[in-house]
């Protein structure tokens, strides 16, 4: 068994995150005072009681910012601290500094805030009715849906609701800031996007970006929650450092993190779908009401991915989909694994389920008839290449012996009055690239030192997904040396500038290709030197397992000797690599183009057992067939698939993110917000990896693995629905995530929730 070096520190508890780092002398701790209503006007803040606690206490407000009180870049609607009005329950309204964290939090609680309540809006449909949108709505129209519906033998419509989801990263939001020589700012931020933090801090501090250095070490999880949202906490830490002249650390406790940060976007949607008598889908319409929260954040990009995944894994010749970014007085909802696609998948699969019920056909029959095939074009005009939807779906049915499984479940249900089982299949077709085209780029810096050791720096952030390991694999394969000779450095805006967030499942693709390009530049120089040393053509030079060889010949020179010879000849052993994903384009006026480099395919089968009397369910088994290309590290990819499934199951069956009618977060702790644990996961979990295929836009024909598998969790929702229908065939179906016990009971009892 091979040990993964970077795992040893985790196992021993030695890995250091921001709150584990030694604090310099004089370091102050920061805390925030949060608002206590969904919307309010600040009349005054009395700091006397807080300041009386200790001489070290400082209280900072919006007027103390030396730069612009704004970190919203798509739209200027995100103040660092509110000047007059707050927009959600839990918004930071003042920053407090003190010698200790405990004292800072005590002082924050001692602030006396005088305020008046303002009208607030919580429901996205009400916001839409009032025309309160973050940005103008978007729509994609193709074919002639109106005429197609007239030709359909079956047409159904309905409503679909999906709740939000808390990130619950192990490491809460945090940042460290200090002022260095010449007024430069140095920050360590728990962020997926160092450049975004750099821009936000520079803007709010009135500095050029070259005077703000942001370092991102290993994160204790993120899942999208530290893509844009980390910028606020870094900006507050920077404010404290410049105002006090001392280093400042800001680190949130769990309850504050729950209350003050964004989550997965809740959606409420309407659909209409039609098919011919054989079950071929002819038309589809959907209207998505995205609960965007109080500010823009990443809502436009998330809505874009919803619209670009509106038909999930299926070809639909006619349709219209419309998305609204509804502004509400809730925390600004933000990126979360899947980034708007899971909400779209759920709407279409729910529509397909309703259609299957109307046609008295098995869902899987409709699924199989309508999957994307090679040569199809997506509804937004993208040619579908290397399509593996039918391959994955067929392989899954073979793996699970689907027909036999259904028969066994039917027999079980017939013989068990108070227990029922259900099974469902769910195919996945997930596009890989940022939907904002300029973000599909990355840089890397590679140094080869005189002793032959190699240092690689990229814009990729390690947050537990092992992107650093994959970049190490890529560099080792490219240079032809053992992985042990390579170190991947933490990310810094000094070494790699203008980074894009490690998000959208592009971390290994973009940064790996940039690192590969840098390594290839150095390799070319070394091969030229090797050809000179061996008096042979450059084309015959090959480096393998740390030894220079003539192709087809014996080892001639060791890697270290070659590097020393190159250095002695004054050959540059450093290189910057850059990669921009080719072939991407999208016209937002016509809503047509090819926004993705490729698609990831797969399918899942989930079996659920329902306890009818207790209104509880248990996921018995999950079988997954997944397309991960030529995996850079199959064990890592399998871990990502299983972890994504857990998060998907949690979203669909368990995690009840709940706000009160006044906008207050009710599920604000781990006692009121339930997460999937090991006992929640299926006892039987089988992951089958499809053979790799050529995929030239990625390192060594690999494929992204972070987000696509989350959709597999939706299979559990429909499996539970099948079990409920076995218990109560005439029950009223409400498509509503999460399917918690209260909703199970409502289905069985016929009561309103």
**Residues annotated as catalytic (active site), given as ranges:** 707
Nearest to 18 by CA among 250, 277, 222: 250
CA distance 184 to 179: 6
CA distance 553 to 531: 14
Burial per residue of 592-618, b for 16 or more beta-carbon CB atoms within 10 angstroms, e otherwise: bbbbbbbbbbbbbbbbbbbebeebebb
Burial per residue of 317-336, b for 16 or more beta-carbon CB atoms within 10 angstroms, e otherwise: ebbbbbbbbbbbbbbbbbbb
Structural tokens at position 296: 């823009």
φ, ψ for residue 311, nearest 5 deg: -100, 15
The pairing of strands 616-626 and 684-689 is parallel
Q: Is the torsion defined by CA of 317, 135, 585, 298 positive or negative?
A: negative
Chain centroid offset of residue 115 CA: 36
Q: How many residues does the chain have?
A: 753
Would you call the peptide bond into 738 cis, given omega within 30 degrees of 0 as the criterion?
A: yes
Q: What does each C-alpha distance from 10 to 120, 138, 170, 508, 647 come to in angstroms?
A: 44, 44, 13, 22, 21
Contact (CB, 8 A) for 574 and 566: no
Structural tokens at position 174: 């945090």
Q: Angle of helix 507-534 relative to helix 467-479, nearest 10 degrees?
A: 20
Q: How many CB atoms lie within 10 A of CB 626?
A: 28
């Amino acid at each position: 068994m091979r040990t993964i070096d970077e795992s040893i520190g985790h196992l021993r508890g030695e890995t250091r995150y921001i709150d584990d780092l030694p604090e310099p002398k004089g370091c102050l701790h920061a805390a925030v005072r949060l608002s206590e209503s969904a919307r309010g006007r600040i009349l005054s803040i009395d700091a006397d009681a807080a300041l009386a606690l200790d001489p070290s206490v400082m209280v900072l407000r919006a007027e103390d910012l030396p730069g612009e009180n704004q970190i919203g870049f798509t739209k200027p609607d995100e103040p660092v601290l509110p000047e007059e009005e707050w927009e959600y329950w839990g918004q930071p309204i003042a920053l407090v500094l003190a010698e200790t964290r405990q004292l800072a939090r005590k002082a924050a609680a001692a602030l006396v805030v005088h305020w008046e309540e303002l009208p607030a809006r919580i429901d996205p449909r009400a916001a839409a009715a009032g025309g309160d949108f973050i940005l103008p709505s978007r729509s994609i129209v193709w074919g002639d849906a109106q005429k197609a519906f007239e030709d359909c033998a079956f047409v159904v419509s309905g409503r679909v609701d999906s709740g939000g989801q808390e990130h619950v990263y192990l490491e809460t939001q945090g940042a460290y800031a200090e002022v260095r020589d010449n007024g430069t700012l140095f920050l360590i931020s728990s962020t997926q996007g160092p450049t975004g933090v750099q821009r936000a801090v520079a803007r709010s501090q009135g500095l050029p970006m070259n005077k703000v250095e942001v370092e991102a070490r290993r994160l204790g999880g993120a899942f999208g929650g530290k893509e844009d949202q980390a910028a606020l906490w870094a900006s507050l830490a920077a404010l404290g450092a410049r105002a006090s002249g001392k280093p400042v650390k800001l680190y949130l406790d769990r309850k504050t993190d729950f209350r003050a940060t964004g989550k997965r976007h809740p959606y409420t949607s309407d659909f209409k779908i039609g098919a011919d008598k054989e079950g071929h889908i002819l038309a589809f319409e959907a209207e998505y009401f995205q609960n965007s929260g109080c500010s823009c954040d990443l809502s436009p990009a998330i809505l874009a991915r919803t619209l670009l995944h509106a038909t999930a894994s299926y070809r639909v010749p006619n349709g219209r989909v419309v998305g609204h970014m509804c502004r509400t007085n809730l925390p600004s909802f933000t990126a979360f694994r899947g980034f708007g696609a899971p909400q779209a998948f759920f709407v279409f699969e729910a529509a397909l389920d309703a259609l299957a019920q109307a046609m008295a056909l098995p869902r899987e029959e409709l699924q199989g008839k309508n999957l994307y095939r090679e040569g199809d074009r997506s509804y937004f005009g993208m040619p579908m290449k290397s399509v593996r939807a039918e391959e994955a779906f067929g392989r899954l049915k073979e793996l699970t012996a689907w027909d036999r499984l259904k028969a066994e479940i039917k027999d079980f249900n017939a013989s068990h009055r108070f227990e029922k089982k259900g099974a469902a299949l769910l195919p996945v077709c997930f596009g890989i690239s940022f939907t904002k085209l300029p973000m599909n780029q990355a840089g890397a810096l590679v140094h080869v030192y005189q002793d032959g050791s190699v240092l690689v720096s990229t814009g990729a952030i390690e947050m537990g997904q092992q992107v650093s390991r994959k970049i190490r694999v890529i560099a080792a394969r490219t240079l032809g040396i053992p992985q042990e000779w390579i170190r991947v450095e933490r990310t810094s805006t000094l070494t790699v500038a203008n980074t894009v967030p490690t998000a959208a499942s592009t971390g290994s693709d973009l940064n790996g290709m940039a690192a590969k390009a840098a390594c290839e530049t150095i390799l070319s120089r070394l091969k030229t030197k090797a050809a000179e040393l061996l008096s042979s053509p450059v084309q015959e030079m090959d480096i393998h397992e740390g030894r220079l060889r003539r192709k087809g010949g014996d080892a001639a020179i060791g890697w270290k000797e070659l590097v020393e010879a190159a250095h002695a000849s004054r050959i540059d052993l450093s290189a910057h690599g850059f990669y921009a994903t080719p072939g991407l384009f999208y016209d937002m006026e016509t809503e047509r183009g090819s926004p993705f480099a490729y698609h990831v395919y797969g399918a899942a089968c989930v079996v659920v057992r329902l306890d009818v009397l207790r209104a509880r369910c248990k996921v018995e088994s999950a079988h997954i067939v997944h397309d991960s290309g030529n995996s850079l590290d199959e064990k890592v990819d399998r871990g990502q698939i299983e972890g994504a499934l857990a998060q998907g199951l949690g979203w669909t069956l368990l995690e009840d993110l709940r706000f009160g009618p006044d906008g207050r977060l009710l599920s604000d702790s781990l006692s009121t917000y339930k997460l999937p644990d090991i006992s929640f996961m299926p006892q039987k979990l089988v992951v089958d990896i499809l053979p790799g295929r050529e995929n030239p836009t990625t390192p060594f024909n690999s494929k992204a693995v972070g987000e696509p598998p989350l959709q597999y969790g939706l299979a559990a929702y429909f499996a539970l629905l099948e079990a409920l229908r076995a218990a109560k065939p005439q029950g009223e179906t409400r498509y509503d995530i999460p399917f918690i016990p209260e909703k199970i009971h409502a289905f069985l009892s016929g009561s309103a929730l």
